[in-house]
Amino acid sequence: MAPQDSTGRLAGKIAVVTGAASGIGATSAKRFAAEGAKVIVADVQVDLGRRVADEIGGAARFVECDVTDEGAVEAAIRRAVDEWGRLDVMFNNAGVVGAVGPIEDTDSAAWRRTIDVLLNSVFYGCKHAARVMVPQGSGSIINTSSIAGVIGGVGPHGYTAAKTAVVGLTKSIAAELAAKGVRCNAIAPGTIPTALTADLVSGDASNLAAVAEQTRQRFGKASDVADIANAALYLASDEAGFISGHTLVVDYARSVNGGSGRFTNSEASMIGIATTGHDRR
Ligand SMILES: NC(=O)c1ccc[n+]([C@@H]2O[C@H](COP(=O)([O-])OP(=O)(O)OC[C@H]3O[C@@H](n4cnc5c(N)ncnc54)[C@H](O)[C@@H]3O)[C@@H](O)[C@H]2O)c1
C-alpha cells in the first residue's frame, strides 16, 4: 500500500460517487481519494468527469453513467468491483433542479423526469450497492438529499418531493441493512456554491462566488462545497461506524430557523410564490 493508503481516513476503501463531474460529487471524489480511497467518478458529463478522474490520477476511473438508467448504475458499481475487488462507499449524489413553477403549471413529464433523476437513481444505487455490500458484511451508502428534503418551501415541488423521499428511503434501507453490517445515511445540504446553484442565483453556472456571498448575506456565513465533502467523508469513514439511518443536515442552522432569509426572485418563481423579496420571518 502507498503511504497515503495506510494513513488516510478512507485508507483502502473503494468508492463510487455519482454526479462526480462537478460540484459536491467532484469535491467529494477528490477528498475521498486524498484520504486513501479508490474512486469511480460516475457522471453523464464525459469531459468534465474525465477531467476530475485525471486530476485524481491512478486512484480514480471515470465511468459514463446516466443514473436514470438502472443498468448504468449497476455497471458503475461493477466497474469498482472489477477494478478493485469490493465496494465500501456508495455516494448517490447526482442531481438536477428538475421541474419548476407553480403546482398548477408543473409539467407532468418534467415531474417524472425529476423523480427519475433525484429519487429512482438513489433506489438503483442503494439496490446494487447492497448486492455487493451485504455479502461483504460492510459498507456505507450515502444519499444526497437537501434542505428541501427536511423543510418545505425552499425548493421546487418535484425536487422537494424527491429529496424528502430520499430521507425516507435512507431510513428504510438503514433499518433493513443494519443487521447485515451496511450503513445508509443521507446528507441534506443548504445552499452550496456549485454549478446548480450558481446558475439559479446568478444565471451563470460558473459564478460560485455569487452563491457563497448570498449565503453569507442571508444566513450569516458563506457556504463552501468542502462543507459537504467533509460531511460525506465522515459518513463514509469508519468514524461514523455507529451512525445509520441519519440525515446529516449541513445548512448552518437554516432549516432550524424556518428556512429563514429572503427569497430571491428566481427561487420565488420556482416555487410559485408571487411575492418576491418576501421576508419569510
Ligand atoms: N448545491 C446545493 O446547494 C445543493 C443543495 C442541496 C442538495 N444538493 C444536491 O447535491 C447533489 C449534487 O449537486 P451539485 O450542487 O453538486 O450540482 P452540480 O450541478 O455541480 O453537480 C451535479 C452533477 O450531477 C450530474 N448529473 C445530473 N444528472 C445526471 C444523470 N442523469 N446521471 C448522472 N449524473 C447526472 C451532473 O452532470 C453534475 O455533474 C444533487 O443531488 C443536488 O440536488 C445541492
pLDDT band (50, 70, 90) for residue 262: low
Q: Specify the residue for cell string 425548493.
A: 155
Measured in Å, residue 228 CA sits from the centre of ligand 1 at 12
Domain ranges of the chain: 14-253+263-268
Our mutation pick for probing the ligand 1 site, out of 196, 200, 249, counting the most ligand atoms within 8 A of Cβ, is: 196
Concerning whether 159 is annotated as a catalytic residue, the answer is: yes
Q: Report the percent of the chain where pLDDT is more than 70.
A: 92
| 3 C-alpha to ligand 1 centroid (Å) | 32
Q: CA nearest 34: which of 18, 48, 49, 52?
A: 52
Question: Which residues, 6 or more positions from 115, have their beta carbon under 8 angstroms from its beta carbon?
Answer: 158, 161, 162
* Cα-to-centroid distance, 37 and ligand 1 (Å): 21
Average pLDDT over residues 172-181: 98
Q: Looking up cell 430571491, which residue turns up?
A: 264
Q: Does the beta carbon of 197 lie inside 6 Å of ligand 1?
A: yes
What's the chain's average pLDDT? 93
Q: Ligand 1 centroid to 196 CA: how many Å?
A: 7
Q: Within 10 A of 108 (CB to CB), how many other CB atoms are there?
A: 8
Band of pLDDT at residue 271, cut at 50, 70 and 90: confident
Which CATH number fits the domain 14-253+263-268, given the four candidates 3.10.450.750, 1.10.3720.10, 3.20.20.100, 3.40.50.720? Answer: 3.40.50.720
Q: Is the CB of 144 under 6 A from ligand 1?
A: yes
Residue 244 near ligand 1, beta carbon < 6 Å: no
Picking from 197, 136, 194, 146, the residue whose alpha carbon sits closest to that of residue 170 is: 146
- The residue with greater pLDDT, 257 or 162, is 162
pTM across the whole model: 0.94
Give me the mean pLDDT over the 247-275 stretch: 78
pLDDT band of residue 1 (cuts 50, 70, 90) is very low
Mean pLDDT of 27-41: 98
In the prediction, which pLDDT does 261 show?
66
User: What is the structure's pLDDT at 64?
Assistant: 98
Q: Averaged over 36-41, what is the pLDDT?
A: 98
Residue 188's pLDDT is 98
Ligand 1 and 139: CB distance under 6 A: no
Over residues 179-237, the pLDDT tens digits come to 999 999 999 999 999 999 999 989 999 999 999 999 999 888 999 999 999 999 999 99
Is 227 near ligand 1, meaning CB less than 6 Å away?
A: no
Q: Using one digit for the tens of pLDDT, what is the confidence trace for 76-134?
A: 999 999 999 999 999 999 999 999 999 999 999 999 999 999 999 999 999 999 999 99
At residue 268 the predicted structure's pLDDT band, cuts being 50, 70 and 90, is confident
Backbone angles phi, psi at 238, to 5 degrees: -70, -15
Taking residues 145-173, report their average pLDDT: 97
Separation of alpha carbons 88 and 240, rounded Å: 13
Upper half-sphere CA count for residue 271 (Cβ side, 13 Å) = 17
Please state, in angstroms and rounded to a whole number, the distance separating the CA atoms of residues 74 and 259. 36
Q: Tell me, what's the pLDDT at 3?
A: 41
Helix, strand or coil for residue 139?
strand
Please pick, among 30, 140, 163, 252, the residue that the annotation labels catalytic: 163
At residue 277, the pLDDT reads 47
CA distance 142 to 93: 8
- With a 6 A CB cut-off, is 267 part of the ligand 1 pocket? no
For residues 267 and 281, give the distance between their C-alpha atoms in angstroms, rounded to a whole number.
16
Span 133-154, pLDDT tens digits? 999 999 999 999 999 999 999 9
